[in-house]
Amino acid sequence: MSLISLLIALAAERYLSSSAWQFSAYYSRYHALFQRYLALGSPSKSVLANSIFLLLPVIGCYFLLSVVDNSLIHLVISTLLLILCFGCVKTRDIYKQYLMAAFRGETTTCDMHHKQLLQDKNLPDMGFGQALIWLNYRYFIAIMIFFVVFGAPGALFYRLLSQLNEASDEQESEKNETDEPEISNADKSVDDTIEATTEYQRSEDELKVSEYNQQLLFWLDWLPVRMLAFGYMLVGHFSRALPVWLENFFDVGKLPHNVLISVAEKSEDFMVDVNDCTAEPCLLVRLAKRSLLLCFSIIALLILTGVIS
């Protein structure tokens, strides 16, 4: 049934672009409900609140699927959850806008879309095509792997964790815009001291939670990223990328996105015009599409041969 769910979800994801099928819309509602009704407040307040925020939907999903006896209903629920976890309409829209601006020769607009993508997804400084390679892994291939290995709860957990990591900067900026206390001149010095102490403690707590999420994502991505990087070699320049893959495989502490990007760039031919800002994104996106088809084919083969269920 996992193979059927993957087929339906991959086919439907591109055409279901309304907010009813976007994970971010449900994430925002869940985040607001969590803050409103639970005494723990924001998930960024503590590691405990963060863990409960992540586990509540996953446990609920697990128990819902475990009590469903009908195979068809189980398939429908799993497929719907997979469709919600797959993809990101906003990233696809930014990519289209970037290409249209590039074809018009508007390099400043291209730079603006590039910076917007990095900011929206809480990514470090990297090229536009490099960001697309990484987000293709995060929104599709990682979800596929966790769905096949751990079922719909596993895919939901990974997507929740990655969304929480991406939304941390956005939530912080919104909080800074809305939480502006009104204080009188007489109490200004005292209130400033209290506010500074509270803000410092809040920043320390949020930093710990952010580091916890990043470390958890690091270990969840460690093996899948190296497996996907090997797939890039199979659909690209194997001999040229193999030394880079071997070097990165044994570098335990290297960040997953650096591993994936370094192998992807060696797996594709970059003999292009440096003034063409569409060359890198288009080449890497084509490489990502080939690797996605390869991953799906391997998963289908493993399911059909009974290696995985």
* 38 against 214, higher pLDDT: 214
At residue 176, the pLDDT reads 46
Give every CB contact of residue 222 below 8 A, 6+ residues apart in sequence: 252, 256
Work out the pLDDT band at 189, boundaries 50, 70, 90: low
Residue 180 has pLDDT above 70, yes or no: no
At residue 225, the pLDDT reads 95
Least confident range of 44-58, 65-79, 130-144, 157-171:
157-171
Give residue 207's identity as a one-letter amino acid code. Answer: L
Least confident range of 86-100, 138-152, 176-190:
176-190
**201-209 CB contacts, 8 Å cutoff, 24+ apart:** 202/45, 205/44, 205/45, 205/46, 206/44, 206/45, 206/168, 206/172, 208/46, 208/47, 209/43, 209/44, 209/45, 209/46, 209/47, 209/50
Report percent pLDDT > 70 for the chain: 85
Q: How many CA atoms lie within 13 A of 260 on its CB side?
A: 28
- Distance between CA 104 and CA 235 in Å, rounded? 31
> Structure pTM?
0.87
Residue 286 neighbours by CB distance under 10 Å: 12
Work out the pLDDT band at 202, boundaries 50, 70, 90: low
Residue whose tokens read 């497929």: 79
Residue 60 has pLDDT above 90, yes or no: yes
At residue 261, the pLDDT reads 93
Least confident range of 25-34, 130-139, 261-270:
261-270
Q: What is the largest CA-CA distance in the chain?
A: 76
What are the pLDDT digits (tens) for 231-255? Answer: 999 998 898 999 999 999 888 889 9
* Helices and strands: H and E segment counts in the chain: 12, 0
Q: Of 87, 86, 88, 116, which Cα lies nearest the Cα of 101? A: 116
Domain boundaries, the chain: 2-174+208-304
Q: How far is CA 107 from the centre of its chain?
A: 27
Q: Where is 170: in which H helix or E strand? A: helix 142-178
Mean pLDDT, to the nearest integer, of 2-25? Answer: 86
What are the pLDDT digits (tens) for 273-307? Answer: 666 788 888 888 999 999 999 999 999 998 888 88
Phi and psi for 260 in degrees, rounded to 5? -65, -45
- Distance between CA 60 and CA 272 in Å, rounded? 50
Residue 196 has pLDDT above 80, yes or no: no
Residue 92 has pLDDT above 50, yes or no: yes
At residue 38, the pLDDT reads 74
Mean pLDDT, to the nearest integer, of 70-99? Answer: 91
At residue 186, the pLDDT reads 46
Residue 119 neighbours by CB distance under 10 Å: 12
